[in-house]
C-alpha cells in the first residue's frame, strides 16, 4: 500500500480496525477526539460498534464487559479522562481482561490544559489505580509507529490477558506524517475459552476480580506478578548513536524526537551524544539501557514532565551514572536549542570536574 | 417418584450467604426459573453488582461477570453489543443502582440497551452494615441517619422506576414485591415479561423488586414483611410503570 | 535538504489546509514530511498555525522552533512568530492585511497583497492562500508546482475537483509574482 498523510489519532484508529478491533467505547476529550470521530464513521462500515458513553467511567466498564465477552476492544482518552478510567482499568487487570487504552497526554494536574505533555508517565507505568498491577505500556514516537504498535498492543493484550496502554501525547495525536498500513492479517487470533459467551455445553465462565479469602487473593496476586515477570521479554527500544556516546539523552515519544535532533546538532559540534529511546515503558528495557550507557559519563532525560522518567532511568541504571533532567511542562515543548545548551553545559561541567546538583 | 419441586438448572448448588428473612434468595430463584422456562440458560450472561448480591456469580449457573460498584449497566452494554443475540441481565441493589450507578442506569435506559435489570430495592445498604441508601424512606433509621432520614439535610428517596419510565429508551418497567405468594407470582410474571421484551429486541427493561433487610432494619423476618407493606409500598407503589406495544405476552 | 516552515493566520484563511497541501506535495515527491497544527479553542476565530517539515532525510524532530520560512496571513501572526525565524530566513507576508513593517533586518522579506489579488484577479479571496503558496514554491523550490497539483487531487474529494483549475491559477499567480526576483533584492511587490 502507498503511503498516505494522516493525523496520528486517525492513523491509530485505522490501525485498530486493521488489528481486528470492532468495538470502541469512549467519551470526548481533547486532544484525542479524532480517534472517536474516525471510529464513529469507520466502525459501522466494518460491522463494528461505536458507543459514545455517558462518562469515561461508563466507557471503560463497557470495555470491561466487551472484553469479558471475548471481543477485541479499545477506548481512548487524555489525562483527566484516564484518571476516571482507573477504576475500570484496575478491575480489568484484576479480572485479567485484554483491551487497549490510548492516552493522548495533555498537561496536568487537574483539568490542566489541552496542549501536549508527558506527565502521566507514573500513572501509566506504575499501575494507576488501586492494587498491585501493571499495564503493558507502549510509547510511539512517530505516526507510523502509532500504527505499528497498535496491532502489537492488541496481540500483547490477548497473549497476556492484560490491558495495554498506548501512551502518546497531543503532538503525536494531532500531527500528520506519512504512514503505510499493512493489510489486515488473517492470522490466527487467540481463542478465548474463558470469555462469557453463554455457558453452552460447558461450565459457566466467570469474569471476576473479587477474592474474599486473603490466601486466595494473595495467590491471585502472585499469579499476576509472575505474569508481569513473563512480560519482561517484550521490551522494545531504539538506540541512536549510542556506541561511542559520552552523553546519552533518554526520552520517549515526542521528547525522543526532539532529543534525536539534539544528538545530530551536538555531534555536528563535536560532542559525542547519543539517544536511548524506550518504546516499551513497561516492561522497561533495563538491560538495553545499561548497555547503551556503558561508556557514557552522564545521562540527560528529556521529558514533558517535572521529572518522572528520570526516576526510572536512575533506578534502572542502579544509580551508577549521573542522570540529569531537562523537563518542560504544562504544554510547553522542549526546544532543541535549549536542550543542546543543557548538553553543552553538562559536557563542559564534566570537563571541569563538577557534578550537577540536580543529578542523583 | 415424581419431582414436584427442585432447584432450577440456572441456579448452582452453592449455599447463599444471605441473611435469614432476606428475599434475595426468592428473587434469585425467580430469575433462574424464568431463564429455565425460556430455555435460555446457555444463552444468558449475567452481571453481578457490588453490594449484598456481589456473589451472585456463585449462585447463578450461568456465564457471569462481576462489575464495579454501580457499573453493571455499562458492563452489560459492552457484553450485549458484542453478543446482540444473547440475553444479558444485571442484578443490582439500590445503593449500587440508585446512588453510585445513577448515570450508568439512566443512560443504559436512555440508549434503550436491550438488557434486563433486576433492581432489588430494600431501602438500605446491606453489605456495608445498614447505611442510608438513596431509597431509604423519610424518618427511616439507619446507621448514617440515626435520627431517621430527614429531608432537609438528607434529601428524599428516589423512585427509580417512575424516573426511568419518563425516558423513551425503556420498553418495560415494573415494580413488584415478593412479600406474599401472590406477589411472588406477579413478580415472576414481570421478570418473564422483561426477558421476553429483551429477546424481542424492543428496548431496555427493568423490574424493581421491593425487598426486606431484617438484619439492618432491626426486626424479625415476619416484622420486616409487615414493615415493607406498611411503609415501602405507599412510597413505592407496585405496578407496571411503562410497557410499550409490540410483544404478545 | 531540510525545510522548516511555519504558516500562520486567522482561522478560516486556509492556513491549515495550505500546510497540509505542502506536506502532501512533499510526500508526492517521496520526501519525508510532517505537519503539526496548533489545536484547541484558539482555532475558532483566533489565530491558527501549523508547522511543516519537508526533508530528504528522516525527520528527527517535527517540532519547529526556528523556521527557515514564515508565511503570515495576518498581523497577529507576524507579531507572534517573527522573532523565531532563523537568521537570514524567509518571511512571506500578506500585505493586504498586514500594515506594519517587520522589525527584523536580517530576513528576506516578500510582501504580496494576496487577499486583494485573490479577489481582483481570481474573483475569490478564498484562494489567497494558494497565491502565497505559489510564491513560496517559486522561491524555495521545496516542492514543485506539479506536486502541489498532484497533492490537491489527493486532498480534495472527487466532487470538489472542479476547484482545481482555480487553485492552479492562484498558484501560478503567486509563482509569476515571485519569478526571477532574488529575495535579497526584493523587498516588496505590493
Domain ranges of chain A: 4-233, 239-351
Q: Among C61, C83, C148, C150, pick the best mutation site for testing chain A contact (most A Cβ within 10 A).
A: C61
Q: How far apart are CA C75 and CA C87, in angstroms?
A: 21
How confident is the model at residue B239, as a pLDDT? Answer: 98
Asked whether the predicted pLDDT for residue C93 surpasses 90, the reply is yes
DSSP string, C126-165: GGHHHHHHHHHHHHH-SS-HHHHHHHHHHHS-GGGGGGHH
A336 vs C33, C39, C65: nearest CB: C65
Nearest 10 degrees: Cα torsion B166, B171, B175, B178? -170
C63 interaction partners in chain A (CB closer than 8 Å) = 171, 254, 257-258, 333, 335-336
Q: What is the CATH number of domain A239-351?
A: 3.40.50.920
Give A 123-162 residues with CB within 8 A of chain C. Answer: none
A68 interaction partners in chain B (CB closer than 8 Å) = 65, 75, 78-79
User: What would the grid cell of residue B193 be?
Assistant: 415479561
Q: How far apart are CA B194 and CA B207, in angstroms?
A: 7
Q: Specify the pairing of strand C90-94 against strand C69-72.
A: parallel
Q: What is the topology classification, in CATH, of domain B24-243?
A: Rossmann fold (3.40.50)
A24 interaction partners in chain B (CB closer than 8 Å) = none
B64 touches chain A (CB under 8 A): yes
- Nearest to residue C62, comparing CAs of B120, A172, A286? A172
C65 vs A257, A264, A337: nearest CB: A337
Measure CA A344 to chain center.
30
| Contact criterion met (CB below 8 Å) for A120 and A108 | yes
B199 touches chain A (CB under 8 A): no
Q: According to DSSP H, which parts of chain C are helical?
A: 15-28, 75-81, 114-122, 128-140, 145-155, 164-178
A87 touches chain C (CB under 8 A): no
| Contact criterion met (CB below 8 Å) for A163 and A99 | yes
| Residue B159: how many other CB atoms lie within 10 Å | 18
Measure CA A177 to chain center.
19
Which structural domain range is residue C151 located in? 2-185
- Nearest to residue A24, comparing CAs of A56, A58, A54, A49? A49
User: What would the grid cell of residue B121 be?
Assistant: 430495592
**Cβ within 8 Å, pair A61-B41:** no
CATH number of the domain to which C21 belongs: 3.40.920.10
How confident is the model at residue C189, as a pLDDT? Answer: 38
Minimum CA–CA partner of B86 in chain A: A198
Higher-confidence position of B219 and A2: B219
Same fold? A4-233, A239-351: yes
Cell 491549515 belongs to residue: C16
First-residue to last-residue Cα distance in chain B = 33
C62 vs A175, A335, A337: nearest CB: A175
**Cβ within 8 Å, pair C39-A174:** yes
Phi-psi region of A284 (alpha: psi -120 to 50; beta: other; left: phi over 0): beta
Q: What is the CATH number of domain A4-233?
A: 3.40.50.970
Angle between helices A253-268 and A336-351 (to 10 degrees): 60
User: How far is B92 from chain A, CA to nearest CA, in Å?
Assistant: 15
| Contact criterion met (CB below 8 Å) for C114 and C158 | no
**Residues of C within an 8 Å Cβ radius of A:** 20, 23-24, 27, 32-37, 39-40, 59-63, 65-66
A31 touches chain C (CB under 8 A): yes
What is the rounded average pLDDT of the residues C70-95?
96
- A: neighbours with 3+ CB pairs under 8 Å? B, C
**Cβ within 8 Å, pair A61-B71:** yes
Asked whether the predicted pLDDT for residue C184 surpasses 70, the reply is no
What is the rounded average pLDDT of the residues B19-45?
97
pTM for the structure as a whole: 0.94
Instruction: With respect to residue C190, please indicate whether it lies within any of the assigned structural domains.
Output: no
Q: How far apart are CA C102 and CA C80, in angstroms?
A: 11
Nearest 10 degrees: Cα torsion A83, A85, A86, A90? -170
**What is chain A's pLDDT, residue by residue, as a tens digit (360 residues)?**
689 999 999 999 999 999 999 999 999 999 999 999 999 999 999 999 999 999 999 999 999 999 999 999 999 999 999 999 999 999 999 999 999 999 999 999 999 999 999 999 999 999 999 999 999 999 999 999 999 999 999 999 999 999 999 999 999 999 999 999 987 766 657 899 999 999 999 999 999 999 999 999 999 999 999 999 999 999 999 999 999 999 999 999 999 999 999 999 999 999 999 999 999 999 999 999 999 999 999 999 999 999 999 999 999 999 999 999 999 999 999 999 999 999 999 999 877 654 444 555
A170 interaction partners in chain C (CB closer than 8 Å) = 39
Nearest 10 degrees: Cα torsion C22, C23, C27, C29? 30
> Which neighbouring-strand residues pair with B139?
none
How confident is the model at residue C43, as a pLDDT? Answer: 54
In this prediction the ipTM stands at: 0.95
**Cβ within 8 Å, pair B107-A58:** yes
Buried b or exposed e, range A37-55, using 16+ CB within 10 angstroms: bbbeebbeeeebbbbebbb
Amino acid at each position: 500500500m502507498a503511503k498516505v498523510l494522516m493525523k496520528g489519532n486517525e492513523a491509530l484508529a485505522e490501525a485498530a480496525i486493521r488489528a481486528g478491533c470492532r468495538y470502541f467505547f469512549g467519551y470526548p476529550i481533547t486532544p484525542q477526539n479524532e480517534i472517536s470521530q474516525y471510529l464513529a464513521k469507520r466502525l459501522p462500515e466494518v460491522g463494528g460498534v461505536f458507543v459514545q458513553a455517558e462518562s469515561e467511567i461508563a466507557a471503560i466498564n463497557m470495555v470491561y464487559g466487551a472484553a469479558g465477552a471475548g471481543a477485541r476492544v479499545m477506548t481512548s482518552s487524555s489525562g483527566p479522562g484516564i484518571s476516571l478510567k482507573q477504576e475500570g482499568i484496575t478491575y480489568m487487570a484484576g479480572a485479567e481482561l485484554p483491551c487497549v487504552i490510548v492516552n493522548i497526554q495533555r498537561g496536568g494536574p487537574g483539568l490542566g490544559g489541552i496542549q501536549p505533555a508527558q506527565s502521566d508517565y507514573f500513572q501509566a507505568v506504575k499501575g494507576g489505580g488501586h492494587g498491585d498491577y501493571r499495564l503493558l505500556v507502549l510509547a510511539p514516537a512517530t505516526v507510523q509507529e502509532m500504527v505499528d504498535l497498535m496491532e502489537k498492543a492488541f496481540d500483547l493484550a490477548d497473549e497476556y490477558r492484560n490491558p495495554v496502554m498506548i501512551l502518546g501525547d497531543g503532538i503525536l495525536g494531532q500531527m500528520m506524517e506519512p504512514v503505510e498500513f499493512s493489510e489486515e492479517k488473517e492470522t490466527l487470533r487467540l481463542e478465548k475459552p474463558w470469555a462469557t459467551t453463554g455457558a453452552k455445553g460447558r461450565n459457566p465462565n466467570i469474569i471476576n476480580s473479587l477474592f474474599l479469602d486473603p490466601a486466595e487473593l494473595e495467590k491471585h496476586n502472585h499469579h499476576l506478578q509472575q505474569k508481569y515477570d513473563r512480560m519482561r521479554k517484550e521490551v522494545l527500544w531504539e538506540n541512536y548513536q549510542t556506541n561511542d556516546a559520552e552523553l546519552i539523552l533518554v526520552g520517549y515519544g515526542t521528547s525522543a524526537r526532539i532529543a534525536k535532533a539534539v544528538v545530530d546538532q551536538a555531534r555536528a559540534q563535536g560532542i559525542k551524544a547519543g539517544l536511548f529511546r524506550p518504546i516499551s515503558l513497561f516492561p522497561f528495557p533495563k538491560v538495553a539501557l545499561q548497555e547503551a550507557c556503558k561508556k557514557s559519563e552522564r545521562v540527560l532525560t528529556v521529558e514533558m514532565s517535572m521529572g518522572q522518567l528520570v526516576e526510572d532511568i536512575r533506578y534502572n541504571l542502579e544509580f551508577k551514572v549521573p542522570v540529569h533532567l531537562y523537563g518542560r511542562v504544562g504544554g510547553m515543548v522542549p526546544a532543541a536549542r535549549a536542550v543542546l545548551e543543557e548538553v553543552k553545559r553538562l559536557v563542559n561541567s564534566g570537563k571541569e570536574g563538577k557534578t550537577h546538583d540536580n543529578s542523583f | 417418584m415424581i419431582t414436584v419441586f427442585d432447584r432450577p438448572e440456572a441456579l448452582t448448588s452453592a449455599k447463599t450467604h444471605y441473611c435469614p428473612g432476606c428475599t434475595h434468595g426468592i428473587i434469585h430463584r425467580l430469575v433462574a426459573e424464568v431463564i429455565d422456562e425460556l430455555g435460555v440458560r446457555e444463552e444468558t450472561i449475567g452481571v453481578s453488582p457490588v453490594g449484598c448480591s456481589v456473589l451472585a456469580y456463585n449462585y447463578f449457573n450461568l456465564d457471569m461477570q462481576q462489575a464495579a460498584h454501580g457499573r453493571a449497566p455499562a458492563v452489560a452494554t459492552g457484553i450485549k453489543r458484542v453478543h446482540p443475540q444473547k440475553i444479558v441481565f444485571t442484578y443490582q441493589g439500590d445503593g449500587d443502582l440508585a446512588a453510585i450507578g445513577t448515570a450508568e442506569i439512566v443512560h443504559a435506559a436512555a440508549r434503550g440497551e436491550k438488557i434486563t435489570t433486576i433492581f432489588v430495592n430494600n431501602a438500605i445498604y446491606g453489605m456495608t452494615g445498614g447505611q442510608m441508601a438513596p431509597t431509604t424512606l423519610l424518618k427511616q433509621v439507619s446507621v448514617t441517619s440515626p435520627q431517621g432520614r430527614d429531608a432537609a439535610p438528607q434529601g428524599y428517596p428516589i423512585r427509580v422506576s417512575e424516573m426511568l419510565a419518563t425516558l423513551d429508551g425503556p420498553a418495560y418497567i415494573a415494580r413488584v414485591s415478593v412479600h406474599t405468594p401472590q406477589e411472588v407470582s406477579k413478580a415472576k410474571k414481570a421478570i418473564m415479561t422483561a426477558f421476553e421484551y429483551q429477546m424481542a429486541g424492543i428496548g431496555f427493561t427493568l423490574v424493581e423488586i421491593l425487598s426486606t433487610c431484617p438484619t439492618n432494619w432491626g426486626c424479625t423476618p415476619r416484622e420486616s414483611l409487615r414493615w415493607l407493606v406498611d411503609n415501602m409500598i405507599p412510597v413505592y407503589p407496585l405496578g407496571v410503570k411503562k410497557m410499550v406495544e409490540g410483544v404478545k405476552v | 535538504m531540510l525545510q522548516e516552515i511555519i504558516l500562520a493566520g486567522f482561522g478560516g484563511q486556509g492556513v491549515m489546509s495550505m500546510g497540509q497541501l505542502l506536506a502532501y506535495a512533499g510526500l508526492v515527491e517521496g520526501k519525508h514530511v510532517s505537519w503539526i497544527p496548533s489545536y484547541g479553542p484558539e482555532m475558532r476565530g483566533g489565530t491558527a498555525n501549523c508547522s511543516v517539515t519537508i526533508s530528504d532525510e528522516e525527520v528527527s524532530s517535527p517540532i519547529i522552533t526556528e523556521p527557515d520560512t514564515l508565511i503570515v496571513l495576518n498581523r497577529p501572526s507576524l507579531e507572534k512568530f517573527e522573532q523565531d525565524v532563523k537568521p537570514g530566513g524567509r518571511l512571506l507576508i500578506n500585505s493586504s492585511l498586514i500594515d506594519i513593517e517587520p522589525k527584523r533586518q536580517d530576513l528576506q522579506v516578500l510582501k504580496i497583497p494576496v487577499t486583494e489579488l485573490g479577489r481582483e484577479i481570481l474573483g475569490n479571496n478564498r484562494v489567497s492562500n494558494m497565491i502565497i503558496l505559489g510564491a513560496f514554491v517559486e522561491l524555495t523550490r521545496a516542492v514543485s508546482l506539479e506536486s502541489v497539483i498532484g497533492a490537491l487531487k489527493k486532498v480534495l474529494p472527487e466532487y470538489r475537483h472542479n476547484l482545481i483549475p482555480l487553485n492552479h491559477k492562484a498558484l501560478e499567480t503567486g509563482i509569476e509574482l515571485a519569478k526571477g526576483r532574488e529575495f535579497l533584492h526584493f523587498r516588496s511587490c505590493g
